[in-house]
Amino acid sequence: MPIVDNAVYVDGHRIQDPSNLTETFEHMRDHSGMAWIGLYRPTEAEVAAVASEFSLHPLAVEDALAGHQRAKLERYGDVLFAVLRPARYDDQTESVAFGELHVFVGPDFVVTIRHADSPDLSQVRARMEKQPELLRMGPEAILYAILDQVVDEYAPVLAGVENDIDEIEEKLFSGDDSGLSQRIYALAREVIALHKSTLPLDDMLQRLLQGSDKYGVDIELQRSLRDVLDHVIRLNERIVAFRSILDNALTVHSTLVTQRQTDTSLEQNDQVKKISGWAAILFGPSLVGTVYGMNFENMPELHWTYGYPMALGMMVASSVVLYVVFKRKHWL
């Protein structure tokens, strides 16, 4: 169902649960309340109805309908438009799944459009409704709570990525190279995508804080935004560290693979040297035996009494000399 939750708040309390958007707009006008409309993959007609009622900028509406936007914060008159890229870690596939959340924040309304299951805004709404004093601060307080939820949900993602990095480091020196390069590369891409999601949050929060005085944002809400900013800075620092570790891991892995290949090549060369050395040693006696095994009538020492011992001595001498030569050259 596109409309996940739809409520009107007055003085920090939920007073109405309209069944459709038309009733929401009527209750807002009758009670001068604040509307919080949560949409999940809405149709173009539903977004158009919200856009018409709240005079949302066409460019922002187009971005919300198209999806696949980068994380950003834009202001159109008195309406803020924020795009957030929440993430969650899938333990089964050991991968990071990214979502997309669009938030319109006006003087008396908040409209959220989700294109994925994450984040769970029902938790945000439940927490806010238990804190009427926070809801009284207006739509900016809801934006803060959403930002806080998105940032908090990055923590288990980073924990999962860190576990993956630990597994890679353990496997790196185990000698098992099967698929390790691919895993390092895939994880590095996920970390880069994660960084693209969290890095803009720093600038977004800075801009919100800079405009706080101009738009009359409560001082306590400003402090809460600074706390979220601190969390974002720490997140980005950890992600930068992850990128550095993975870059080093890929370099080390390439070095180790090259070293193992070199060691294998050297070992093969040693084997070839030994085989060649023994082949040469055996070649000397074979040559002498072959020459004196020829069936010619006129051959030197053929009828000599010591011809046979001499041939055997030449065989042994050639083998011994070659053995000594190869031994000194460390071929054997």
219 and 141 housed in the same domain:
yes
**Range 282-301 average pLDDT:** 69
92 and 216 housed in the same domain:
yes
**Range 118-127 average pLDDT:** 86
218 and 316 housed in the same domain:
no
Among 237, 258, 279, the domain boundary falls at 258
**Range 239-261 average pLDDT:** 83
23 and 82 housed in the same domain:
yes
Question: Running DSSP on this structure, what letter comes out for residue 56?
Answer: -
Residue 232 has pLDDT above 90, yes or no: yes
| pLDDT for res 177 | 66
The tokens for 150 are 């998105």
Looking at every residue in the chain, the average pLDDT score rounds to 84
Among 199, 227, 258, the domain boundary falls at 258
186 and 60 housed in the same domain:
yes
47 and 181 housed in the same domain:
yes
Residue 34 has pLDDT above 60, yes or no: yes
Q: Up-side HSE of residue 294: CA atoms within 13 Å toward CB?
A: 11
Residue 246 has pLDDT above 70, yes or no: yes
Give 96's contacts (C-beta < 8 A, 6+ positions apart): 87, 88, 89, 90, 157, 160, 161, 190, 193, 194
Residue 1 has pLDDT above 50, yes or no: no
The tokens for 317 are 């001498």
**Domain carrying residue 79:** 3-258
Among 206, 227, 258, the domain boundary falls at 258
Q: What is the spatial distance between Cα 230 and Cα 232, in angstroms, rounded to a whole number? A: 5
Name the domain count of the chain.
Answer: 2
**pLDDT band at residue 266, thresholds of 50, 70 and 90?**
low
Residues 110, 139 contacting (CB under 8 angstroms):
yes
Chain segment 188-201, per-residue pLDDT in tens: 999 999 999 999 99
32 and 112 housed in the same domain:
yes
148 and 172 housed in the same domain:
yes
168 and 241 housed in the same domain:
yes
Chain segment 12-31, per-residue pLDDT in tens: 888 877 877 788 888 887 77
User: Which one has a higher pLDDT value, 231 or 320?
Assistant: 231
Residue 331 has pLDDT above 50, yes or no: yes
309 and 244 housed in the same domain:
no
Residue 148 has pLDDT above 50, yes or no: yes
For the chain, strand residue ranges (E) read 3-10, 13-16, 34-40, 72-76, 79-84, 87-90, 95-98, 101-105, 109-114
210 and 292 housed in the same domain:
no
| pLDDT for res 182 | 86
User: Which one has a higher pLDDT value, 300 or 286?
Assistant: 286
- CATH code, 267: 1.20.58.340
User: What is the pTM assigned to this prediction?
Assistant: 0.76
| pLDDT for res 46 | 85
- CATH code, 46: 3.30.460.20
42 and 143 housed in the same domain:
yes
User: Of the ranges 124-133, 259-268, 281-290, which is most confident?
Assistant: 124-133
Poorest-pLDDT segment among 55-64, 117-126, 256-265: 256-265
| pLDDT for res 190 | 93
Chain segment 41-54, per-residue pLDDT in tens: 888 888 888 898 88
